Chain A
Amino acid sequence: MVSTNVKMGMRAVDFYYGESQALFDVSIAIPEKRVTALIGPSGCGKSTFLRMFNRMNDIIDGTHHTGEVMIDKESIYQNNNNLAELRKKVGMVFQKSNPFPKSIFENVAYGPKIHGIKEQTQLQEIVENSLKAAALWDEVKDRLTTNAITLSGGQQQRLCIARALAVEPEILLMDEPASALDPKSTTRIENLIGELQKHYTIIIVTHNMQQAARVSNYTAFFYEGHLVEFDETKKIFTKPEKQQTEDYITGRFG
């Protein structure tokens, strides 16, 4: 099914919040430089699944998992893994834009600075390129020193994308990145995802089925912690294999 290289994946992953199991025997191979959308009702495990890839579930007490999670054919849950390196490689954008209460410039330069880049001209270059890649540069180039929280919601979200891009990740995890935005800003984010896919492997959680259909190449349907179906998006939305998938995307879920 997947004709391109596999960037990341899981093998027989079970995940638990304490006693409660959130993922059941999930195995998947996610193609490189493609957009994979995760759909399913609330609580089906898609956000948990997403956060496995940057080990963000680790910060929640009492969680554990079995099985393997891999990026570039390497298991990312080995003890000797460098977490900072992993999070640099795997950027994340959240539902609610969360800019730091700092200038636009500082927001984007923050990550590269942490990773040791000090030279101002180099930082300027990174900020400009990241803002351009996030389709925000033209709107903010004359006011890089203003506080980021003065930006509109759609601009803030693109700033967060620019901030994620600034550390040159290879993977972008997006957890409902457009769900709090108006249609115009949503369109900009969706167009942006189309552009970013040329350089990044993107996984996006969305409750908007039409958005999944528009922006993604592959779609994974989760239900009650199980990966029910994973296939090309055009297949999922025209003739899914599983009745459960069809019932969900057509709104016939009981």
Chain B
Amino acid sequence: MHQHLHREIQKLKKSIMIIGTLVEESLRDSIKAIVERDKKRAQTIIKEGSVVDEMEVELEEECLKILALHQPVAIDLRYIISVLKINNDLERIGDLAENIAERAEFLSSQLPIKIPDTIPLMASIVQNMLKNSLNALVNMDTLLATKVCESDDQVDDLHSGMYPLIQSMIEKEPKKIDALLQLLSISRYLERAADHCTNIAEDVEYLVEGHIKRHH
């Protein structure tokens, strides 16, 4: 019974994981490119961004096809709806990684600046959130999903702390203002990536529990 549908869902599972892995890699590499002033790495991320974009569209079309042809219900319906939304969040995180790579490219053309510890710290929390939200999806693990949501506050706090920090850095080295301002953008991109990870985790909660918990 319904073997066709379940085969299609297995395919979705694979595709969303491939996209997830690609996005994880570009996020990790974009931070590396910042810290290591690696222009080449930054350019590769920007160039490869379109791969995720294309896969996102393909996966969305797959989901729509399944909805139209199989009219899934209950857990199958929730799974496909969750994949549709998670797919979108992953693509957005991919875009943010590209944005960070663009900043890396710019920074590599400027005089070196000291990258405050907050940036790699935020980045490692966000990377963890991304990894855990995908693991939560694979294992239908709401406890892990809740943990991801909780980490978001930590990222928000670190991001808020960046403003006074950058301000004092600019005061010390006003000539480097252009480069230093890039750090604020990077911090904002990471903060937004954390929001998307939170969305993914909330979708996993919906997938498992059937309640939309957002905004609660």
Contact = CB atoms under 8 A, between A and B. Distances in A.
Most central of A246, A251, A252 by chain B CB within 10 Å? A251
Nearest to A245: B74
Given A238-B210, A239-B210, A251 B1 contact: yes
A216 to B, nearest CB: 13
B76 A239 contact: no
A239 B213 CA distance: 14
B74 A238 contact: yes
Given A238-B210, A239-B210, A250 B78 contact: no
A240 interface: yes
Nearest to A246: B74
Contacts, number: 36
A252 B5 CA distance: 11
B139 to A, nearest CB: 18
Interface SS majority for chain A: helix
Interface of B: 1-2, 5-6, 71-78, 209-211
B74 A251 contact: no
Interface residues of A, number: 14
Given A209-B73, A237-B73, A251 B5 contact: yes
A238 B77 contact: yes
A250 B71 contact: no
B1 A249 contact: no
A209 B76 CA distance: 14
B1 A246 contact: no
A221 to B, nearest CB: 11
Determine which residue in A213, A240, A245, A249 has the highest number of CB atoms from chain B within 10 A of its CB, and name it.
Answer: A249
Contacts of A250: 2, 72-76
B91 to A, nearest CB: 26
Nearest to A240: B74
A246 B72 CA distance: 11
Of B1, B2, B74, B75, the most chain A CB neighbours within 10 A belong to B74
A226 B92 CA distance: 48
Contact of B74 (A210, A249, A253): A249
Interface string A216-254: 000000000000000000000111100001100111110
A249 B76 CA distance: 10
Contact of A238 (B5, B6, B71, B73): B73
